[in-house]
Structures are given as C-alpha cells and as structure tokens.
Amino acid sequence: MLFTGTELVCPAGRKDSGPLIVDLGAILTAEARQAEIAFVTPQKAPELLREFNEAWRNLHKLTVQLAAEKLAAERQTANRRAVLLVDTVPSILKEKHLTSNDANRDAIITLDAEYQALLETEDQLTAIVAYLRGKLTSFENAFSAVKKIMSEDTYNMQARQNPNLKGGGSSGLADDRSRPASPPPASPPRSTGFGKARY
C-alpha cells in the first residue's frame, strides 16, 4: 500500500493483474469539510449534507470494489496452500525425514515465497478496506451531526419571540404606566323599587 498525494496504490487481488490506483482526491476534499460542522448555518447545511452524502456514495463504491479484490486474494492464497499441501509438502517431508504433522506442514508452507507474496497482498487489501470503512463511518457521523444540529432550536428558522419584547423592548409594566388612565365604567342604573323599571 502506497500513498502518492491523493492516490492510493495497492496490489490487485488476482496475481495476473497490475496494481490498483485509487483516486481519493474528491473524498479527501469532502473529508476536510467536516471541520465546517463546528460553524454550520441553516443556509450552508443542505449543501454540506449533499457533499457528505455524495462522498459516502463514492467511497462506498470503492470499498465494495476493494473488498471484492480482497476476496480474490484470499482465494489465491487458499489455492496456493492447497497446491503446496498436495504437491510440495509430502516430498519435502520425505526428503528431510520429517514427521507429517501440522507444525511441519505449516512451516514448509510458510517458507514458500509465492505463498508469502499472496499473503502480503491479502494483508494489504484487508488494511485498505478497513481504512476506507473507517472513512465511511466518519462521513456517516458527519452527516448525522449536521442533521442533529439543524433540528435544534438554535437553528429554528422561525425564532420564538418574547411578547414582552415587542415595540422597542420595553416591558409590559412600563407600557401600562405610560398610557393615560381610562375612566371607570359607568355604574348601571339602580332600581328604586319592585316592579317594572320606568325610564
């Protein structure tokens, strides 16, 4: 595995294929924008969510492709081990007068240069897939963080207003004192006796 600027160079899972060159430029740019979460605004959030979602989609595609290469590498390693066990190990055990047991067989397989090269390819692809999956999780967390921030009252587009602060910010008590007093309501006519009132 080799980083050259924004590119990642790694071996292919099939030994008859050349090295794989993975361009991470756009993904690394989107990853750097995760710092903007600290000061995201309602106007900026939709564009940031789109950026994180697109980067996650592209990164997921790369991760699946490299996971397939890893499976191919595992098959190559398993095939080489099978060939060694059937064709090579018995003759070496006989030649060196060794007992046929797991320890001796594994030692002979471990000393095979081709088998070691296949294991190295498998290990590198395993590390790369784990590396990319970590970035996938990072984008998932960033996307969720922006959504969570936007759901808080701090970023409510219709901010709540205190009714006591309308009209220049004076309190209700001060407004009441500045108004002229209203005359008391007139008392209703009093009845002078029983029976129908006369007007």
The stretch 147-169 carries a mean pLDDT of: 57
- In one-letter notation, the amino acid at residue 105 is R
What's the CA gap between 44 and 33, in Å, rounded? Answer: 12
Count of structural domains, the chain: 1
138 within some domain = yes
171 within some domain = no
pTM: 0.70
17 within some domain = yes
49 within some domain = yes
Q: What is the pLDDT of residues 10-42, one digit of tens each?
A: 888 887 788 889 899 999 999 999 999 999 888
Q: What is the largest distance, in Å, between two alpha-carbon atoms of the chain? A: 140
Q: What is the pLDDT of residues 87-124, one digit of tens each?
A: 999 999 999 888 889 999 999 999 999 999 999 999 99
177 within some domain = no
194 within some domain = no
User: What is the H or E stretch that residue 134 is in?
Assistant: helix 113-150
124 within some domain = yes
What's the CA gap between 126 and 74, in Å, rounded? Answer: 10
Q: Is the pLDDT of residue 82 over 80?
A: yes
Which domain covers residue 118, as residue numbers?
Answer: 2-155
pLDDT at residue 11 in the model: 87
Confidence tier at 149 by pLDDT (50, 70, 90): confident
**In this structure, are residues 125 and 20 in contact, taking their beta carbons and an 8 Å threshold?**
no
**In this structure, are residues 10 and 66 in contact, taking their beta carbons and an 8 Å threshold?**
yes
Burial class of 70 by CB neighbour count within 10 A (0 to 12, 13 to 18, 19+): buried
* Cβ-based neighbours of 104, under 8 Å, separated by 6 or more: 93, 98
